[in-house]
Amino acid sequence: MRTTVTLDPDVEQLVVDAMQRFRQSFKEVLNQAIRKGLSDLAASPDEPPFVVSARPMGMLAGVDIGRLNQVADELEADTFIKLSRELEAKKREEQKK
**pLDDT tens, per residue, the chain with 97 residues:** 888 989 999 999 999 999 999 999 999 999 999 999 888 776 566 778 889 998 887 877 887 888 889 889 999 999 999 999 999 999 999 888 7
Write the DSSP string, 24-76. Answer: --HHHHHHHHHHHHHHHTSPPTTSPPP--------PPTT--GGGHHHHHHHHH
SS3 of 8, please?
A: coil
pLDDT at 44: 64
Q: Model's pTM, two decimal places?
A: 0.42
CA nearest neighbour of 29 among 42, 39, 14 = 14
pLDDT at 43: 58
